[in-house]
A and B are shown apart, each in its own frame.
Chain A
Amino acid sequence: MDLLTFARGPALEIAMAIFVIGVLWRMVGVLSLPAWRDDSPPRKGAPPAWLAALQAIFGKMAPHRTFLKAGMFTTINGYVFHIGLAICVFAFAPHILFLKSLFGLSWPALPSGMIFAVGAVTAGSLIAALIYRLTSPVLKLISRGNDYISWGLTFLPVVTGLAAASHIGARYETLLAIHILSICVFLAWFPFGKLMHAFLFVFSRGATGIRFRHRGAQI
């Protein structure tokens, strides 16, 4: 079995299985814990819980202006690599084919050259994020292995993807195999590290939204 067959076959299968098991394990494990009942009367005009949750989920997309002064880099750079990753993952034709084979859904792709440019910007943005993490005293203090592993495993698919798209470094099938393997590792790590925020943000923001909007407080 060559590397590409291994990557497209057993590696991907195992990684996806770990991903699904891990994500459900973590989400169900947390969401099925008992919750405190809040019997306090809501503020007059408070939205229902579902709306409160939605308000927080969307409202939290933009930080309050006062926090932007100090958090400008974190916010803008965060947006750059998140949007970059989203474009690379969801708008590149081969990726759409991959997703289509899993979910049966398909949508139009962006030109490869554009994806390549976005990928390069994303890689740069990720590097900037790492440099910031390594130099900011606050981030140095609060960062854990999880943060560096998650960074590395996000960065790898981006650079291996760029290498595969530009045929730099090795033969294409090897680059493609490495790219797929890097995604396998990413998927396998996903449920256990902070990459889970891709799912958790809904519940984390939502819970605070429900608590705060019940009180008529801003979120």
Chain B
Amino acid sequence: MTAKTTASGVAYDVQGTQGDLARRDAAMQAFVQDFAKTAAIHMESCLRCGMCATACQFYVGTGDPKYTPINKLKPFEQAYHRHVGPFAPLYRLFGIGSNVNVEMLQEWEALLFDACSLCGRCTLACPMGIDISELIKEARHGMYKAGLVPDRLELMDRTAKAWGSPATPSDDFADIIKDAGEENGVPMNIDLPKADYVITTAPAELTEHTKALADIAKILNKIGASWTYSSEGFEASNIGYINGDLELQEKMTRKMIDNAIAIGAHTLILPECGHAYGAARWEAARWYGGKIPLKIIHMTEFLDEVVASGKITLKQIGETTSFHDPCQLARRGGVVEAPRAVLKALGLEIKELEDHGALAWCCGGGGGVVSNTRADPLRYKAFELKKKQFEGANAQRFVTACGQCRITLTLGAKHFKWDKKVESLLELVADNMIV
């Protein structure tokens, strides 16, 4: 692993010992294999109108045209036209659609990883409906194969492979759960052979927000559900999904699903994590290879369910709050109403941000950006947009439903010496539940 700089002064990381050509070929092969019908249609359709730039926090934050979302796809696009598009044979015959070289890929590493949080705002801005965010995620596959991803993300990848989680070895999981139970005075279930609910976690809960582990347990205990944590397949934040490591994505998905099936759960509860929702709720079936025989829901959806069903009652807080919609949950997941219903049940008056719901700005840290310290300056530019909207909404509280968003926003607040505390929806429910 080495940090380097391209001729134009862009920092990039390199993994592995492949030669330049091998690296380029690995990327190209992965790019080429990735294209299915929808991606191909989208590759054909760009009008070069620049609308996507207006939607991208990294372009708006910096004003640098290279952060225009469609520009981040340049090498991927060239691979498409030269090898997959309907005129690819002509492109190859006449040697047009200039080929991608390793220098280009090095240059694009930062554009694909540092300057994209996979937030998908560009997709909504595109008049042709091109799902740019999805294409960037696919382009990352080739970058991973080429050993051209930010070192911090690659480190998490290797950790996840070795430990089953980028946060902690599987062997330590049971202890973390027990500790969280003791600290918060909540009885915990761990590694029960059979249960209706399996609770999964993301690194945020296993490191900074361990109270969340107890919070959900508290609620499940209250409703008298049969539930368990499991040392096997507890990790829902699928780092392969973010890094472009398809093998890891498949492995993590299968491990989590197979384990839940083995336990006989009818519901798998995903943690307060955005990408976990994208990877498990919408993509898991592809890796599982068919319909999954259990329900996969996000923590927020679960909270909405128990609150709406009246199984728990909540104290009325009676203050104003703004809600930060995690991109993968709201924009790309369709969960917009659920968190608001829960906030209302808590007696909170919602003061919406200027852009909220499906159109909310990203926290700036999604898609691995928060873990990739190299991207900090860019991330703070994005945070400023968010901060401005919070201040505009003028609410007392500031709630979200994603641990990574919460960490990103907290880091941003710290950087700008902003004294707003970012709260978790789960925590609010657990703390205000009438026992």
Option from A64, A137, A203 in Cβ contact (under 8 Å) with B359:
A64
Please determine whether B50 and A30 come into contact, CB atoms closer than 8 angstroms.
no
* B101 beta carbon closer than 8 Å to chain A: no
* A211 beta carbon closer than 8 Å to chain B: yes
* B410 beta carbon closer than 8 Å to chain A: no
* B87 beta carbon closer than 8 Å to chain A: yes
CB contacts (< 8 Å) of A74 on chain B: these are 49-51
Please determine whether A204 and B41 come into contact, CB atoms closer than 8 angstroms.
yes
CB contacts (< 8 Å) of A219 on chain B: these are 124, 129
B336 — nearest CB in chain A belongs to which residue?
A218
* A157 beta carbon closer than 8 Å to chain B: no
CA distance A218 to B35 in the complex (A): 25
* A31 beta carbon closer than 8 Å to chain B: yes
Please determine whether B38 and A36 come into contact, CB atoms closer than 8 angstroms.
yes
CA distance A147 to B47 in the complex (A): 8
* A216 beta carbon closer than 8 Å to chain B: yes
CB contacts (< 8 Å) of A205 on chain B: these are 128-129
Please determine whether B37 and A30 come into contact, CB atoms closer than 8 angstroms.
yes
* A2 beta carbon closer than 8 Å to chain B: no
CB distance from A198 to the nearest CB of B (A): 11
* B418 beta carbon closer than 8 Å to chain A: no
Please determine whether B41 and A30 come into contact, CB atoms closer than 8 angstroms.
yes
Please determine whether A40 and B284 come into contact, CB atoms closer than 8 angstroms.
yes
Please determine whether A200 and B51 come into contact, CB atoms closer than 8 angstroms.
no
Q: Which stretch in A11-19, A93-101, A189-197 binds the other chain?
A: A189-197
At the interface, is chain A mostly helix, strand, loop or mixed?
helix
CA distance A33 to B36 in the complex (A): 6
CB contacts (< 8 Å) of B295 on chain A: these are 41
Please determine whether A204 and B42 come into contact, CB atoms closer than 8 angstroms.
yes
CA distance A103 to B87 in the complex (A): 29
Known contacts A36-B36, A71-B54, A192-B87; is A60 also within 8 Å of B127 by CB?
yes
* B125 beta carbon closer than 8 Å to chain A: yes
Option from A37, A136, A208 in Cβ contact (under 8 Å) with B131:
A208
* B290 beta carbon closer than 8 Å to chain A: yes
Please determine whether A31 and B129 come into contact, CB atoms closer than 8 angstroms.
no
* A43 beta carbon closer than 8 Å to chain B: yes
Q: Which stretch in A108-116, A138-146, A159-167, A174-182 binds the other chain?
A: A138-146
Q: Which stretch in B326-334, B373-381, B396-404 binds the other chain?
A: B326-334
* A105 beta carbon closer than 8 Å to chain B: no
CB distance from B272 to the nearest CB of A (A): 18
* B246 beta carbon closer than 8 Å to chain A: no
Please determine whether A43 and B334 come into contact, CB atoms closer than 8 angstroms.
yes
Known contacts A40-B281, A211-B38; is A197 also within 8 Å of B45 by CB?
yes
Known contacts A29-B85, A63-B125, A211-B131; is A143 also within 8 Å of B48 by CB?
yes
| Interface residues contributed by chain B, number (CB under 8 Å) | 61
* B66 beta carbon closer than 8 Å to chain A: yes
CA distance A143 to B354 in the complex (A): 32
CB distance from B61 to the nearest CB of A (A): 13
* B46 beta carbon closer than 8 Å to chain A: yes
CB contacts (< 8 Å) of A26 on chain B: these are 44, 86-87
CB contacts (< 8 Å) of A218 on chain B: these are 124, 331, 334, 336, 357-359
B67 — nearest CB in chain A belongs to which residue?
A138
CA distance A75 to B55 in the complex (A): 14
* B228 beta carbon closer than 8 Å to chain A: no
Known contacts A36-B36, A219-B124; is A138 also within 8 Å of B129 by CB?
no
CB contacts (< 8 Å) of A33 on chain B: these are 35-37, 40, 84
Option from B37, B127, B333 in Cβ contact (under 8 Å) with A215:
B333
CB contacts (< 8 Å) of B59 on chain A: these are 138
CB contacts (< 8 Å) of A48 on chain B: these are none
Please determine whether A217 and B129 come into contact, CB atoms closer than 8 angstroms.
no
CA distance A201 to B355 in the complex (A): 26
CB contacts (< 8 Å) of A38 on chain B: these are 282, 285-286
Option from A67, A69, A204 in Cβ contact (under 8 Å) with B128:
A204
* B415 beta carbon closer than 8 Å to chain A: no
CB contacts (< 8 Å) of B392 on chain A: these are none
Option from B40, B71, B282 in Cβ contact (under 8 Å) with A142:
B71
CB contacts (< 8 Å) of A78 on chain B: these are 49, 127
CB distance from A200 to the nearest CB of B (A): 5
Known contacts A141-B65, A218-B124; is A208 also within 8 Å of B54 by CB?
no
Please determine whether A200 and B334 come into contact, CB atoms closer than 8 angstroms.
no
* A34 beta carbon closer than 8 Å to chain B: yes
* B130 beta carbon closer than 8 Å to chain A: yes
CB contacts (< 8 Å) of B50 on chain A: these are 71, 74, 136, 138-139, 142
* A54 beta carbon closer than 8 Å to chain B: no
**Between-chain CB contacts (< 8 Å), 11 pairs:** A30-B41, A30-B85, A36-B37, A64-B124, A66-B355, A70-B60, A141-B68, A200-B44, A203-B45, A212-B332, A215-B282
Known: A215-B282, A217-B333. 11 other contacts (CB 8 A): A26-B44, A34-B37, A36-B286, A39-B291, A60-B127, A71-B125, A78-B49, A143-B48, A196-B44, A204-B130, A205-B129
